[in-house]
Amino acid sequence: MKDFFLIARVISLFGKDGYVKVESFSDFPERFFELNVVYIDFWGEKKKFVVQDVKQLKNAFALKFKNFDDERSSGLLIGRDIFVLNDNSILLDEDTFFVHDLIGSKVLREDELLGVITDVISPPANDVLIIETENKDELLIPFVLDFIEYFDPEKKILVLKKDAGYYDED
């Protein structure tokens, strides 16, 4: 089974020549100019699409797919998610992580299981990990490298340093 990585969603048509406007979910928008093939989700099944052209818009991108040359055919894509294969995902710098790698990871501090990461939010200061405890409580931990001992995305384990602070929602 192939692993897919979500990068965008089709939000509207763009012009009359089959272009669609997409909302990027990627922290690396330059990736759109390197796309040759993407996969679009149709009711849980990923269909392969060939990218013919990419235009950068103010806050989004317009993509043109092979054999989608008018508003009628491209209209079928509105609201659909766009994926790449995981082996086409961006290589990250050290100490940089994909959110999808963090979500579902166990969080430990001094060999104590704090819980599992359920989400990552991005307020203005720095990202915050939302961790669900065994009691279904939420812990909020600033996602600051100084707090992290190490992270293993393969094993889905994040180990916090002894002095890492966190906040209980209650």
- Comparing 122 with 42, which gets the higher pLDDT? 42
For residue 10, which of 65, 85, 82 has the smallest C-alpha distance?
82
Q: What fold does the segment set 99-168 form as a domain? A: SH3 type barrels. (2.30.30)
| pLDDT > 90 fraction of the chain, expressed in percent and rounded | 32
Residue-wise pLDDT tens digits, 8-21: 899 999 999 999 99
Q: What angle do CA 17, 29, 116 make, to 5 degrees?
A: 125
Q: Is the pLDDT at 167 greater than 60, yes or no?
A: no
Cα-trace Rg, the chain: 19
Give CA–CA dist 28/12, Å, rounded: 21
Round the average pLDDT of the chain to a whole number and report it: 83
- Span 124-157, pLDDT tens digits: 777 888 889 889 888 888 887 788 888 887 788 8
Q: Domain coordinates of the chain in residue numbers?
A: 4-88, 99-168
CATH 2.40.50.140 assigned to domain 4-88? The reply is no
> Which pLDDT tens digit goes with each residue over 62-112?
999 999 999 999 999 999 999 888 654 544 445 556 666 788 889 888 888
Note the pTM of the prediction, 2 decimals.
0.56
Give strand pairing partners of 117: 131
Confidence label for 61 from pLDDT (cuts 50, 70 and 90): very high
Q: Which residues contact 99 (CB under 8 A, 6 or more apart)?
A: 120
What pLDDT, on the 0 to 100 scale, is given for residue 90? 47
